[in-house]
Amino acid sequence: MLERITLHDKTFRLFIKNEEIEKAIDTIAERLNSDYANCTDEDPAILLCTLNGAVIFAAELLKRLNFPLMLKACKLSSYAGTCTTGIVKTDVPLPQHLEGRRVIIVEDIVDTGGTIVTLMEQLREHKVKDAKVCTLLLKKDVYDKDVILDYVAMEVPNLFIVGFGLDYNELGRNIKDIYVLDK
């Protein structure tokens, strides 16, 4: 593990070690396994991975879940560089056949919450039975929406971070630790 990394024109310093991330995922998986123990092969939960950032988190979570589920994906975006644009764009729409299903949204990070609000609206339009939010990271200081975040692995301050699925202009997703922008 490196103390500092450079992506494009920015330097980042180590912020959260992989071991800490893995422990937080273990805790979330235990809760999900308990809460979704009544799923059946006929009525599996849908794990809805938000591309691209949540891929690593979703993969790690999947390895720990022991109830019947289906993996689906969608892609919404609101970031350009290191800042949110405030506009949520749907790049890959929700999958079909969600009506009456229990959906667990898997997010890499929730900050202002615009993406989560948009996703919940879309899920309501698809007439899902239930939708829960599971996020690896929450920037609690800037989250100001009414949508309940049911499963939060870790809270982080309002800083720009990369690694474990999070990127800076598409680089850094594959780094196993999380790094913070070094001012």
Paired sense of beta strands 178-181 and 161-162, if any:
antiparallel
Contact 118, 91 (CB under 8 A): no
Contact 150, 167 (CB under 8 A): no
Secondary structure element (H or E) that encloses residue 59, with its range: helix 55-64
Tokens 């764009």 -> residue: 89
Tokens 């999947």 -> residue: 62
What is the amino acid identity at position 151?
Y
Active-site residue list: 111
How many angstroms separate the Cα of 57 from the Cα of each of 21, 50, 108?
9, 10, 7
